[in-house]
Amino acid sequence: MTSHERFLNHMRFQPADQYPLWEWGAWPSTLRRWQREALGEDRMPTQYSECDGKDLCGVDLWMLPRYEEQVLHEDETYVTRRIDRGIVERVLKSPDEMSMPEHLEYPVQSRADWEALKKRFDPSTPGRFPVDWPERCQRWRREEPVLIYQGPRSPSLFGFVRELMGPERAMYAFHDDPLLVHDMMETSTELALALLPQVIEDAPLTSIFFWEDMCYRSGSLLSPAMFREFMSPRYKCITELARSRGIDIILVDSDGDVSELIPLWLDAGINGVYPMEVAAGMDVAKLRREYGSDLLMTGGIDKRVLARDHRAIDEELDAKIPLVEQGGYIPHLDHAIPHDVPYENFVYYWKRKKRLLGVD
């Protein structure tokens, strides 16, 4: 079977030639550690080449044109820069330090900012499709990877607003300026809807993956009532169009405790969630018992055990891998691999995971 066929059969609870083999990548600082420990300079781990083929369709679902990238300030420790999404961020200069960027400023701070920026999300802007789109479609039809409708930070609704306004200003806006939030989400929805039919017509599309990141360790950043008002109708527009064109596996990416949102996503036509972050209380076995085959999942393996020992890795895999036999679940780590993970532990995890899955 091809990766495309295997994924669809497994997520539809149908037989496949083997279980899908997926994995989340490592932080750059982790790769540098692994190169020092075992791989050698500039060499990459070979394990990822063993995974099922998976590709993003390459259609641009974000602002065009992007912002010009600029370095605004630099000292011995930090670089402050404007990135192509318009965010001003401060980052550590040391390549061996792992930290998230500190976001100092977002492009939308007022309604006037949004009105000026809105035209950059016009679906008809040249450049939405890659210049080699026909060649890509031919290659995808030949190789049949898992082909996903997803772009940088998109398609998204809450994530779209948060990425342009920042989380604090975005959440205030739901109360202080709901019409602005509606307009921003509608713009994102219209962009996703406008390009999706052409992608489905031209390419062997497998699935749609939304990007939201709208939860934290203790729950959702948005109330269920606000979700239903602002997001549910727009999700349904996209998921109903997708299903009318034969795309029935639709997932959403959100870190944190997503338990409160799962029934809302299901009601809106999104039938899968990842990466099921264990530190936030996500338990894929418990969720399968609760939702049965209604909920598709990927992820759910606690990345933190890779920093411990072989016994911890064994216990985590033994608890999660049997769920794969039911279908509708693809096991992989619940986010990027941090740099406290030795390469030897990752190798052990990988070999044991493959053995339990029965994947050659």
Contact by Cβ (8 Å): 224, 264: yes
Contact by Cβ (8 Å): 250, 207: yes
Same domain, 122 and 156: yes
Q: How many domains does the chain have?
A: 3
Same domain, 42 and 81: no
Same domain, 196 and 222: yes
Is residue 260 one of the residues assigned to a domain?
Answer: no
Same domain, 6 and 117: no
Amino acid code (one letter) for 130: P
Same domain, 321 and 346: yes
Is residue 113 one of the residues assigned to a domain?
Answer: yes
Is residue 62 one of the residues assigned to a domain?
Answer: no
Is residue 169 one of the residues assigned to a domain?
Answer: yes
What is the per-residue pLDDT for 97?
66
What is the per-residue pLDDT for 66?
96
Same domain, 111 and 244: yes
In terms of DSSP bridges, do strands 207-211 and 146-149 run parallel, antiparallel, or are they unpaired?
Answer: parallel
- Which residues does residue 174 pair with via DSSP β-bridges, in sequence order? none
Same domain, 155 and 239: yes
Domain limits at 341? Answer: 1-53+273-360
Same domain, 165 and 240: yes
What is the per-residue pLDDT for 96?
65
Same domain, 131 and 217: yes
Mean pLDDT by 10 residues, the chain (360 residues): 98 97 94 95 95 97 96 94 96 76 95 97 97 98 98 93 96 97 98 98 98 94 97 98 98 97 98 98 97 98 98 98 97 96 98 94
Is residue 10 one of the residues assigned to a domain?
Answer: yes
Q: Let me know how long the chain is.
A: 360
Strand order in the sheet with 102-105: 70-74, 78-82, 88-92, 102-105
Contact by Cβ (8 Å): 81, 104: no
Is residue 267 one of the residues assigned to a domain?
Answer: no
Same domain, 305 and 327: yes
What is the per-residue pLDDT for 44?
95
Digit-coded pLDDT (tens) for 116-159: 999 999 999 999 999 999 999 999 999 999 999 998 889 999 99
Please give the Cα distance from 229 to 212 (Å, whole number).
16
What is the per-residue pLDDT for 98?
66
Structure tokens at 258: 């997503």
Please give the Cα distance from 284 to 249 (Å, whole number).
18
pTM: 0.95
Strand order in the sheet with 146-149: 54-56, 146-149, 207-211, 250-253, 272-274, 296-301, 329-333
